[in-house]
Amino acid sequence: MSEVTPPEEGNKKGISRRGLMIGGAAGAAGIAAVYFMGRGGGGGSSATDCITTDLSDTEAKLNVSNWPEYIDEDDGDYLSTLTEFQQTSGIEVAYTPDVNDNVEFFAKVRNQLGACQPTGRDLFVLTDWMAARMIDADWIQQLDKANVPNLDKNLISSLQGPGWDPNRDYSAPWQSGFTGIAYNKSLVGEVGSVSELLTRSDLKGKVTMLTEMRDTMGLLLLAEGADPSNFTDDQWGNALDKLAKARTDGQIRAFTGNEYINDLAAGNIAACVAWSGDVAAAEDENLVFLPPEEGLMIWSDNMLVPVQGTHKANAEKWIDYYYDPAVAAKLAAYVWYVCPVEGAREEMEKIDPSLVDNPLIFPTADYLAQTHGFMALDEAKASQYEKDFADVTG
């Protein structure tokens, strides 16, 4: 370091500093120009050009993304449905519980799907409205009916033919479920309504709600006396104000995905908006799930094969396998969500007769009468509501 040459001195032989900077800037501008030209063309990919060749014949693999706590697990002598599928089909399944929130998952995969690039997943599970959005964007492959006879035969009637996929050409329900209230009875007395969640003083700072806008706002709308499947902007605004007030007052501790169940068991929260099966999966006798006085929200989560999923036939084998009533009953006995498979109830007699009349798994018509779906929203309305909701939750 003793002989530091002043930069100007090197100019005559080498490159001047100014030259270097101009060169660099020009290079950067060039690259940037190419980049922005490339940008204009993006996003317009359609499913037909984008579907990949199915490698299922040569690769016995399947990559599945699902929600946490949504499948049975090996336990001593008990073999999970997943393990049995791998054994009988010879397909190696990489099962990842990495869907914790529809919008978040969408944010994770939209760039790849939009640019027609693989996401590394052959099958993922998303809630109705998000499934509709993805099918609408041409990002989902059509299922080959010949490969999924069980789906055709055994899908329960209430889940057949939704407006966004009338023939179930693109989607197969994984499980259905309810959004209601859960509370920890070792900490507080019964929490029977959404209004209590929002206002009861012994729950202050001990309540969580879901980051899923339709689950949380569905219940808030019910508490507002509105119908979540058909509400006005005013009603939406009032329900949102209620939520904002509870948040600012410190009544609501957090907005969460599946992780609320740990906090509920640990006593960090006393009551929350919850999904029906989670409480059973937690296997903690202090935790109770109940339908709020105002009513329940109902939804279903759907298996979808994305356009760049390279193991579609394997994914269809998986779907067909889970539509076998015996398999469906085994899964339902573990996850405690509404089973979408006809005939599973009869199979349940053999597994656990006490669950046959459990309304969370096999709801009766009476039970379903108190449930509500969330209104279908167009893209502009959906993003407006999501934004309103995000302004309150985060």
Interface residues with other proteins (CB under 8 A) are 5, 10, 13-15, 20, 23-24, 27-28, 31-32, 35-36, 39, 42-43, 101, 103-104, 107, 110, 114, 137, 204-206, 211, 247-248, 250, 252-255, 266-268, 379, 383, 386-387, 389-394
Helix, strand or coil, per DSSP, at residue 168: coil
In single-letter form, the type of residue at position 368 comes to L
Distance CA 233, CA 361 (A): 34
Distance CA 156, CA 345 (A): 11
Give residue 141's region: left, alpha or beta (phi > 0; psi -120 to 50). beta
Residue 126 has φ and ψ, to the nearest 5°, of -130, 155
Choose among 313, 302, 306, 304: nearest CA to 61. 313
Choose among 16, 369, 184: nearest CA to 6. 16
Q: Which is nearer to other proteins, 242 or 330 (CB)?
A: 242
Distance CA 339, CA 180 (A): 18
Which two three-digit tokens encode residue 254? 């957090």
Q: How far is the CB of 355 from other proteins (least distance, A)?
A: 31
Which two three-digit tokens encode residue 48? 């037909």
Other beta carbons less than 10 A from residue 382's beta carbon: 17
Q: Which is nearer to other proteins, 13 or 163 (CB)?
A: 13
Q: Which is nearer to other proteins, 233 or 357 (CB)?
A: 233
Q: Which is nearer to other proteins, 94 or 390 (CB)?
A: 390
- Helices 128-136 + 102-114 axis angle, to 10: 10
Q: Which is nearer to other proteins, 201 or 354 (CB)?
A: 201
Query: How far is residue 52 from each of residues 131, 315, 338, measured CA to CA in Å?
Result: 20, 14, 33
Residue 189 has φ and ψ, to the nearest 5°, of -70, 175
Q: Which is nearer to other proteins, 211 or 308 (CB)?
A: 211
Q: How far is the CB of 339 from other proteins (least distance, A)?
A: 31
Q: How far is the CB of 11 from other proteins (least distance, A)?
A: 11
Q: Which is nearer to other proteins, 81 or 102 (CB)?
A: 102
